[in-house]
A and B are shown apart, each in its own frame.
Chain A
Amino acid sequence: MSGVMPAGGRLTAREAGLASCHVCGQLARHVAHRALRCPRCRAPLHLRKPASVSTTWALIVASAILFVPANLLPMMTTSSLLGTQRDTIMSGVVFLWRSGSWPLAAVVFFASIVVPLLKILALAWLTASVQRRSRRRLMQRTRLYRLVEFVGRWSMLDIYVITLLVALVNFRGIATIEAGPAAIAFGAVVVLTMFAAMTFDPRLIWDPLAGPDDLARHD
């Protein structure tokens, strides 16, 4: 690994009046109130992701609401000769634990319950701290954002499990599995939290260091 030299002290692109392209990284002079495009790859240019804080909040609130039915409603219904059984996400984890596959029970518990919940809480904390223009724990917050972005996709696990169970357990008259309404709510939670992580702009964490800025209002 090789070090990178700061150019002209500690100056951010925005302080220098430059916008960096989110696709190709090209720097270009920013003009307020003008819809600009990257001179190199033609992607729309912004100093910061537009309306990052309000969009992220909207997505966090929506996913927090949907997280409730995702956990309370049945995820799948198993019909067999022994009767009908409805399973929520948590009872699916309990089933795996009791049948002796506790490593998988831990994986599913983590991917389906811990990750979405922590993701909602972490993004809420990040967005709130950005709104307060907090200058504390910049590095920890940046690392937390990277973690949220990285682990988010693994929440999709239970959606895939249910898809395969429905397709495989299709023995008419002996046993069938059907997906329950929680699958839709849970899928929506995963998609909405992924969008929330994408609309959050990590550069906002570092912006308070640059001092008061009028430019921030006109992203």
Chain B
Amino acid sequence: MSLTLPAQTLACHECDLLQTEPALAPGQTARCVRCGALLARNPPDSLDRTLALTLTAAILYVIANAWPLVGLDMQGRRVEVTLIGAVQALWSEGMTPVAALVFGTALLFPLLELAMILVVLIPLRLGRVSPRMAPFFRLVRSVQPWGMVEVFLLGMLVSLVKLSHMATVLLGPAFWAMAALILTVTLAGRAFDSRLLWQAPPAGAGA
């Protein structure tokens, strides 16, 4: 069923034009000649950098969820919330669809994304490529648009400004972990070259 094609022929995913992908030097990107869509990138040292950044992100994710994000101090009465605590507050109020939406976009999907990337990349780094990892990568791709930690961080800032006139605002350790998490996930995304997954790795990959 599959057709023999020159290895570097590809179709633009935004306008469908067939074109040849040039050999890319590290750091170079290829764009569609017709619509300018990003077709391929060649980030240097992709596998090791992506893996290191994703492992860092996983640790930051744990901190961001285990400690309180923000708190309020109102004449000695103190309230601190964790991410899951905020979801529970909405849930117990009967706002279950909204609570589920926040749980998915701020907690579950970012976790799935990190876990799936590690499930795919760790065997690759160890030189084991298995066709079974393809479904995991498909899951990463479908989950990615729904992880919105950076929007959540901005939402925290807006709500704190709204409350700053009535109480003292406290930033918890998880707040800073979440800010660092957004940074590392962004850098990991930039370091990642998805072609790694589909090309047979050279002998002693990553060495």
Hey, which bits of chain A sit against chain B, CB under 8 A?
Answer: 1-8, 10-14, 16, 18, 20, 22-29, 31, 36, 39-43, 95-96, 99, 101, 104, 107-108, 138-139, 142, 145-146, 153-154, 156-171, 174-175, 178-179, 183-184, 187-188, 191, 194, 198, 202-203, 205-207
Contact with A along B36-57 (1 / 0, CB 8 A): 1101000000000000000000
Contacts of A167 in B (CB 8 A): 79, 81, 85-86, 89-90
B81 to chain A, nearest CB (A): 4
Contacts of B15 in A (CB 8 A): 12, 142, 202-203, 205-206
From A139, which residue of chain B is reached at the shortest CB distance?
B35
Contact call A20/B10, Cβ cutoff below 8 A: yes
Contact call A24/B151, Cβ cutoff below 8 A: no
Sort A-B residue pairs by CB-CB distance and give the 8 closest, nearest first.
Answer: A160-B155, A13-B11, A167-B86, A39-B2, A20-B11, A167-B89, A164-B159, A206-B15
Q: Pick the contact of A160: B19, B33, B146, B156 (CB < 8 A).
A: B156
Contact with A along B138-160 (1 / 0, CB 8 A): 10010001101001101111111
Q: A4-B31, A4-B32, A160-B102 are in contact. Are A12 and B141 (CB under 8 A)?
A: no
From B14, which residue of chain A is reached at the shortest CB distance?
A202
Contacts of A36 in B (CB 8 A): 1
Contacts of B95 in A (CB 8 A): 166, 179, 183-184
A200 to chain B, nearest CB (A): 11
Q: What's the count of A-B pairs with C-beta under 8 Å?
A: 235
Q: A4-B21, A178-B93 are in contact. Are A159 and B198 (CB under 8 A)?
A: no
Contacts of B20 in A (CB 8 A): 4-7
Contact call B163/A206, Cβ cutoff below 8 A: no
**Complex Cα gap A39–B5 (Å):** 13
19 A-B pairs with CB atoms under 8 Å apart are A2-B25, A6-B19, A6-B33, A7-B6, A7-B9, A23-B137, A24-B134, A39-B2, A43-B138, A101-B161, A107-B154, A142-B14, A153-B148, A159-B98, A161-B159, A163-B86, A167-B81, A168-B163, A179-B90
